[in-house]
Amino acid sequence: MIKQLWEKYKHIIAYLFWGVVTTVINLAVFQILSSGIHWNYQLANVIAWFVSVLVAYFTNKVWVFGSHYTTVSDFLVEMLRFFFYRALTLVIDIVITFIGISVLGFKDPMGQFIVKVIDNVIVIIANYVFSKWLIFKDNKQIEDQ
């Protein structure tokens, strides 16, 4: 029974585990740059996004979706697709942080952190949908060959 549940939900469990790891990285980099060394919160947000997307790509590729692309061109296409869809959610990320911090006034470190946590929940859901159905979708066809 446990093995059946694992087989049924292993992609979701792995995605959630690595999603937590990349979310912690995103929040930590953001807090260090924004609240720690007082960089502009949007610049800190974009840098945190880039670092966490790099981590997310490799963890999703290897441990979540088991991507098996072996050629350089297939690898680059997959990586570009990943970054493209993550860039779409970066727009969501930027809008949410702008509204939360600049419009609603959550400018202190704790307020920014709360905005980023809410933002990350929404972004994680969107990223999973993109990853599952648009980025790593061809891997089943590769495994069947």
DSSP for 49-79 reads HHHHHHHHHHHIIIIIS-----SHHHHHHHH
Q: How confident is the model at residue 138 (pLDDT cuts 50, 70, 90)?
A: low
Confidence (pTM): 0.78
Q: Which of 89, 120, 54, 53 is nearest to 112 (CA)?
A: 120
Q: What is the pLDDT of residues 21-56, one digit of tens each?
A: 999 999 999 999 999 999 999 999 999 999 999 999
Contacts 24+ apart (CB under 8 A), 87-90: 88/126, 88/130, 89/123, 89/126, 89/127, 89/130, 90/46, 90/49
Band of the pLDDT at 145, cuts 50, 70, 90?
A: very low
